[in-house]
Structure 1
Amino acid sequence: MATQTLRCWAGQHGELSDSPGDVLDAALFTVVNSASRLYRLCDLGSTVFHDWGGVHTDFHEFFASTRSGSL
């Protein structure tokens, strides 16, 4: 579910070129796919937005952990 959510978000404005797609595969999806546990954090509301938090229409936050600790 997380991989599908993140891929849809990343490609929402069109297919990614090789470079950004490769970076997502290496940095993000490697962590997501190797996690022992993956939690999707709930919407904390607009009061905790970063200054740029409202720039994107979608925001997804996950916490990945392994048996030895967080990734």
Structure 2
Amino acid sequence: MDDGELLAALIGHEQFRNDYAGGGVLSDGTRHGPYWLRLITPDLYESISQERAVQILREWVDPLWDVPTELETDLQREVFARVDAADGIYHLGDLGDEAMHDWGGVHDSFHEFVLIDRAAAQVTLLVAADD
């Protein structure tokens, strides 16, 4: 399967129907993050470097905040190690106001990455969001 097919399979999966605002996965959901699910397609994901992904994530964590040691350890293990291992990293950019669902503006920040690690035969959906 090529990367575009993996992205399409991910978008089509039931677990992708999550608004990341506390509602969890809805099997018949029409939202993904702040966006209408029907408007998300594989070609909207931009291939980015590991360095760029780390930069976006570090800016989200906020470099001015003194991250507690335990949280930094968790971030390193659960997030940054996965970014480092990925063969392909795709970022869903801002889709604009037209793609936002009826209450999608609840997120102050929403960053989504798809990490493809072919050696581990693993696809990881990584979402960094706050509301």
Where 2:90 maps in the other structure, the secondary structure is strand
Superposition pairs for residues 51-70 of structure 1, below 5 Å?
54-56=106-108, 58-67=109-118, 68-70=121-123
Match of 1:31 among 75, 82, 94: 82
Counterparts of 1:8 and 1:69, CA distance in 2: 26
User: How many residues align structurally?
Assistant: 67
Match of 2:101 in 1: 47
Percent same amino acid at aligned positions?
A: 28
Moved more, 27-36 or 6-15: 6-15
TM-score by length of 2: 0.44
Shift of 1:42: 2.4
Q: Give the deviation of 1:66 after TM superposition.
A: 1.7
Q: Give the match's secondary structure for 1:29.
A: helix
CA distance in 1, matches of 2:78, 2:64: 21
Query: Using CA pairs below 8 Å that are at least 6 residues apart, which structure has the higher relative contact order?
Result: 1
Unaligned 5+ segments in structure 2 are 1-51, 125-131
> Going by fraction, where is strand more abundant, 1 or 2?
2
Q: How far apart are residue 12 of structure 1 and its match? A: 5.2
Q: Does 1:11 align with 2:62?
A: yes
